[in-house]
Each structure stands twice: as structure tokens, then as C-alpha cells.
Amino acid sequence: MNLTVNGVAHEVDSAPLSTLLHVLREELGITSPKAGCEQGGCGACTVLVDGEPRRSCLTAVGAIDGAEVTTVEGLGTPEALSPVQQAFTHHYAAQCGFCTSGMLVAAEAYVRGGGTDEPEAIQEALAGHVCRCTGYVKIIDAVAAFARGEEFDLSTTAASPGMTNLGGAQ
């Protein structure tokens, strides 16, 4: 079986009934999709399969032979964040970070598919994603700003990778 993950072609050795989550995490070492429940209930394992958000924990890899898979690693890099990553950073939409990967790719698919900044529509699009930290408000704000195509000055909200102090608060 073959998969293209974030633009890189891979030959997959795992059995066809292995979950896509298992293949990504354990065979290919791509760890942004999380094993939150492995029952399709929490959304933390969501990735894009041919552009559509899919629960990687419920997707048998044999069923998507030849597909293009996108994870958060394929959206942007720390040096060049994609617009949805910038929006989540600016709005502090990631708290513990465990649900964030799934939220980001679902938001990416929503806006690519013509989604607007209407809160009810965003809630509908992200309804399958559980977050226990934020209370969702900041996530919805971030997706709305992303849908509007806003640009952000991240010089105060972002920090360079590896930064471990509180910026100007010392």
C-alpha cells in the first residue's frame, strides 16, 4: 500500500486493517494525530484524507490505498505558520494542546470548503472535536478570524521555538 503524507510518498508495511492512526504514529513517526479515545469519539486523531477530515483511528489504512494525507505537520512550520496556525496562536486557542492538531485540520478543511465566520456554522463543523480546557470560545474565535482571512501581528502572542520564559514578564 502507498500513502502520500504531507507531500512525501510512503510505502506502508502495516496490515491493511491497521488504523491510519497506528500507521501514522507507530510506522511513520508522525505524532500530531493523538490517540484520545480510539473510538471515533473525541476528534483528536483527525487528519485530512484527500482534503476531507477523517478520524484516523477509525480508518483502515487498506481502504485508503493511494490517498493523500495531510496532518498538522503539513500545514506550516514554526518559522512559517499557516494562516489557521497563526489564528490559533493569536487567539490562544490551544491550551494543553492535545486536541489542537485535530481542531486545526478540521478548521482548515472547513474554510477551504467555503466555511464562513458564522459561529453556529463553525460549531457544526467542529462538533466532533472535544476540548476540555478552553470552553471552545477561543477556538471558535480563531476559526472565525481564519475564515475572514485576518492577518495577525504575532510578535506578542508567538514565541520562538524552544523559548521557555514569559517574554516581557520577567
Partner 1 sequence: MKAVGARLPRYDGIEHVTGRTQFVDDVRVPGMLWAKALRSPVHSAEIKGLDVSKAEAMPGVHAVITWKDVPLLEYGHLSALGIPADEPLLARDDVRYKGQPIALVAAEDEETAAAAADAIKLDLEERTPLFDIRKAFDADAPKIHQWGNWYPHFENEMDRRQIRKGSIEEAFDKADVIVQGVYRPAAIEHVPLETQVALVVPEANGRLTIYSCTQALYFSLGVVAAHLQVPLNKLKVVGGTVGGGFGGKVDTASETMSALAARKSGRPVKWRWTREEEFLCSSTRAPWHMEIADAVTKDGWILGRKMLTLHDSGAYARFSPYGLTKHSFHHTGAYTIPNLHFDGFVVFTNRVPTTAMRGFGVTSVSFATETHMSRIAHELGLDPYEVRLRNANRIGDTSPNRIVYTDPSTVAVVKALAGGMDVELGSEYASMTRDKREGDLLPEHLVGQLADPEDH
Using the rule CB under 8 A, is 14 a contact of partner 1? no
Does residue 69 bind partner 1 (CB under 8 A)?
Answer: no
4 binds partner 1 (CB under 8 A): no
Q: How far is CA 67 from the centre of its chain?
A: 18
For residue 65, count CB atoms less than 10 angstroms from its CB and return exposed for 0-12, middle for 13-18, buried for 19 or more.
exposed
Question: Residues touching partner 1: how many (CB under 8 A)?
Answer: 49
Amino acid of residue 160:
S
Rounded to 5 degrees, φ, ψ at 131 are -130, 130
Q: What is the C-alpha separation between 81 and 65, in angstroms, rounded?
A: 29
**Residue from 15, 16, 17, 41 in contact with partner 1 (CB under 8 A):** 41
Kindly state whether residue 136 participates in binding partner 1, applying the rule CB under 8 A: no
Residue 54 is a binding residue for partner 1 (CB under 8 A): no
Other Cβ atoms less than 10 A from the Cβ of 138: the count is 18
Q: Report the interface residues with partner 1, using CB under 8 A.
A: 29, 31-32, 34-39, 41-42, 44, 71-73, 75-78, 81, 85, 88-89, 92, 94, 96-101, 104, 130-133, 156-161, 163-169
